[in-house]
Amino acid sequence: MRILLTGASGLIGQAVHRNLSQDNEVITLGRSAHADVRLDLADVDGLNSAALPAADALVHCAGIVDEDFREDPVRAARMAMFGAGALARQAVAAGATRLAYISSAHVYGPMLGHIDERSPQNPVSDYAISHYATEQVFRRYAQGAVTAAAFRPCAVFGALGDLDAFRRWTLIPFSFPREAVMDRRIVIRSTGQQRRNFVGTDDIADSVRRWLDASSSAWQVINPVGDTSCTVFEFAQRCAAISDELATGSCIVERQQPNGPQAGDDFEYASTLQPTTARQSIDDFARGLMSQLLLKAMP
Amino acid sequence: MRILLTGASGLIGQAVHRNLSQDNEVITLGRSAHADVRLDLADVDGLNSAALPAADALVHCAGIVDEDFREDPVRAARMAMFGAGALARQAVAAGATRLAYISSAHVYGPMLGHIDERSPQNPVSDYAISHYATEQVFRRYAQGAVTAAAFRPCAVFGALGDLDAFRRWTLIPFSFPREAVMDRRIVIRSTGQQRRNFVGTDDIADSVRRWLDASSSAWQVINPVGDTSCTVFEFAQRCAAISDELATGSCIVERQQPNGPQAGDDFEYASTLQPTTARQSIDDFARGLMSQLLLKAMP
């Protein structure tokens, strides 16, 4: 298969690139000088007049991230709706009949109770609404020979190529290992009792590959589910324990509101579509990342 | 009740204004010099720093229209998401605990089969996605004392104050009566077999008033359903028949693809929430509008 890939240098995109390159020709699209085809999702007019190379599929891993909304929410929403819309249109014009988008579990709304692909969506933040908008501009093309899918991971972890190039340290799977190493103290602003499902980027990539190989229904939502679900507090404790193993001295976990309002302790993230065959362990990830950070911090 | 109202000079907003003014104090918000409070939904920064007068409710009838997307889709989407978001926030800050938004049946997606409020949403056009975005930024505030609702009418008809000021003649309930009078020929580009529910603006206003008086659940979607559902071809035939009554000579209905692809002949628009107590008749509307147009056309 010939696959157009955006976000190939990003957290999830790197894993998708590695995975799909094994059996497919992958053509990367992006602003970077390393991209096979240079394009900018913020340049809607440019995209509308761009011609993409002939391909069988588009995998869009360059969706909006939280940070985009802190910087310029209007620009981020425009990319999500019109940039992604133009991208999907051009990919279909180039022959793509499979359109995959890496979205977010936030599209379901507040992380409460049992959520699987049959759950109604309820995006409330600008970030979540924008992810949903991208899903729907992809879904627009899901008819006739074209099938499309949205992948909605919850809390994503995975190998970082270059620690210095990474910009998303505020995400919990990254912030806690980093705080454990750097500060020997992990600070949780809430009760920490809200649960999350942690899914590795390689497992997300597997999920995308399985869908590319077997796509059948016109439109599909897929929850890539990792094998670890735990509370934010429990994950902090795991990081602290690993940190204690790796280094001398111990790491403290501090909850700023241990008795504060509790919501999300009943959250259960599930998939009815793809069996969980997760191969990545969050503990291995945390241990690996902390080792990297310790090495880096060495004089 | 003290009610903030946007879109008071628009098709639906005029009817809402008339209706709610009977028992409430209505404060109009908008760009017009006639508005009680001047504000521009496209000026997000201005809205973010605006203070609205104290009120119990906000009724937002100045949502995006099809025409906005033909002119400047990025601007329209920005108004729908960020303009409406700022408006809702400022209304809540001003004390409003009821937020109503006039949305569109297009939020459900293609008009096929039975659709009521329990049907999943599937907005696919930029227009529909943007309406959904406004619904969700309103829904964001639906917690605690604040309740919010989205009203999703299908095909809207209603009295026009000033024919010259009206800009939405391409909507079917308006285009067919006009073509019947002006051209004595109604042209349908499709088979005309797709069904629509036609709802009057006074009935939509009633629906909003009933919700304001009885709002209970935090978030509600309401389909204001009119008492006439028919195919586009049938509506054209009604208009032609009325035109024949009113004027000499007869009106032709032309279908450009009478045997073309058929979709939507099974569409049924319903509400599980509010009983249909429609009082407006689409025939009376068409007759009234055609009489107005004939009078206007007289030398």
pLDDT digits (tens, 9 = 90+) for B128-146: 999 999 999 999 999 999 9
**A218 at the B interface (CB within 8 A)?**
no
The range of the structural domain enclosing residue A124 comes to: 2-155+198-222
Q: Which residue of A has its CA nearest to B44?
A: A74
At B165 the pLDDT is 86
**ipTM reported for the complex, 2 dp:** 0.91
Q: Which chain B residues are Cβ-neighbours of A140 within 8 angstroms? A: 124-125
Contact state of A133 with B137 under an 8 Å Cβ cutoff: no
- Same domain for A146 and A82, yes or no, is yes
Chain A: give the shortest CA distance to residue B139, in Å: 7
Q: Please return the burial class of B277, using the count of CB atoms within 10 Å of its CB with bins 0-12, 13-18 and 19+.
A: exposed
Q: Quick one: pLDDT at residue B26?
A: 98
Q: Are residues B178 and B120 in the same domain?
A: no
- DSSP per-residue codes, B123-137: --SHHHHHHHHHHHH
Amino acid type, A125: S
Together in a domain, A271 and A241: yes
Interface of B with A in 31-60 (CB under 8 A): 44
Same structural domain, A88 and A145:
yes
Same-domain pairing of B163 and B80? no
Do residues A72 and A213 share a domain? yes
Over residues B223-242, the pLDDT tens digits come to 999 999 999 999 999 999 99
In this model, does residue B299 exceed pLDDT 80?
A: no
pLDDT tier at B263, thresholds 50, 70, 90:
confident
The whole-number pLDDT of residue B277 equals: 74
Collect all residues with Cβ–Cβ distance below 8 Å to B267 and sequence separation of at least 6: B111, B112, B113, B115, B194, B195, B196
Q: How many CB atoms lie within 10 A of CB A289?
A: 24
What are the beta bridge partners of residue A147? A98
Structure tokens, A109: 């709304």
Smallest Cβ–Cβ distance between A77 and the set B77, B121, B124 belongs to B77
For an interface test with B, the pick among A41, A47, A126, A134 (most B C-beta atoms closer than 10 Å) comes out as A126
> For residue A297, is it within any domain?
no
**B207 inside domain:** yes
Domain contains B130: yes
The answer to whether the Cβ–Cβ distance between B81 and A136 falls below 8 Å is no
Q: How many beta carbons lie within 10 A of that of residue B217, not counting itself?
A: 10
pLDDT mean across residues, chain B: 94
Residue A182: inside a domain, yes or no?
yes
Q: Specify whether B66 is located in the same domain as B110.
A: yes
CATH of the domain at A27: 3.40.50.720
- pLDDT tens sequence across B47-99: 999 889 999 999 999 999 988 898 899 999 999 999 999 999 999 999 999 99
C-beta atoms surrounding B15 within 10 Å = 23
In this predicted structure, what is the pLDDT of residue A18?
97
**pLDDT recorded at residue B279:** 86
Preferred mutation among B108, B122, B126 to probe A, highest tally of A CBs within 10 A: B126
Q: What is the token pair recorded at A123? A: 């995006």
* CB atoms near residue A299 (< 10 Å): 2
Closest chain B residue to A74 measured between Cα atoms? B78
3-state SS, residue A22: coil
In the prediction, which pLDDT does A277 show?
74
Residue A299 falls inside a structural domain: no
The per-residue pLDDT for A123 is 97
In a domain, B133, yes or no: yes
- Angstroms from A163 CA to nearest CA on chain B: 34
A4's enclosing H/E stretch is strand A2-6
Residue B276 scores a pLDDT above 70: no
CB contact (8 A) between residue B74 and residue A73: no
Q: Which residue has the higher pLDDT, B26 or B32?
A: B26
In a domain, B75, yes or no: yes
Same domain, B170 and B214: no
The C-alpha atoms of residue A202 and residue A42 are separated, in whole angstroms, by: 27
Shortest Cα distance, chain A CAs vs residue B45, angstroms = 11
Distance, CA of A39 to CA of A30 (rounded, Å):
5
CB contact under 8 A, B77 and A73: no
DSSP string, A199-256: EEHHHHHHHHHHHHHH--SSEEEE----SEEEEHHHHHHHHHHHHHHHSSS--EEEES
Where do we find the tokens 């103290």?
A185
Q: Which of A74, A81, A139 is closest, CB to CB, to B126? A: A81
Residues A254 and A210 in one domain: no
The average pLDDT across B119-124 equals 96
Q: How many domains are there within chain A?
A: 2
Nearest-neighbour CA in chain A from B156: distance (Å): 25
Instruction: Return d(Cα A72, Cα A28) in angstroms, integer.
Output: 25
3-class secondary structure per residue, A164-195:
HHCCCCCCHHHHHHHHHHHCCEEEECCCCCCE
Search chain B and give the residue with CA nearest A78: B74
- The answer to whether residue B120 neighbours chain A at the CB level (below 8 Å) is yes
B192 and B263 fall within a common domain: yes
Both A144 and A253 in a single domain? no
Say whether residue A112 is in contact with chain B using an 8 A CB cutoff.
no
Q: Which residues of chain A have pLDDT under 70?
A: 248, 276
- Taking the Cβ of residue A85 and every Cβ of chain B, the question of whether any pair is shorter than 8 Å is answered with yes
**Other residues' Cβ atoms within 10 Å of the Cβ of residue B21:** 14
The one-letter amino acid at A31? R
**Residues B73 and B142 placed together within one structural domain of the fold:** yes
Residue of A nearest to B45 (CA): A74
Q: Do B136 and A120 touch (CB under 8 A)?
A: no
**b/e map of A219-231 (b: 16 or more CB within 10 Å)?**
bbbbbbbbbbbbb
Task: For chain B, give the percent of residues with pLDDT over 70.
Answer: 99
CATH number at B176 reads 3.90.25
Residue A296 lies in a domain: no
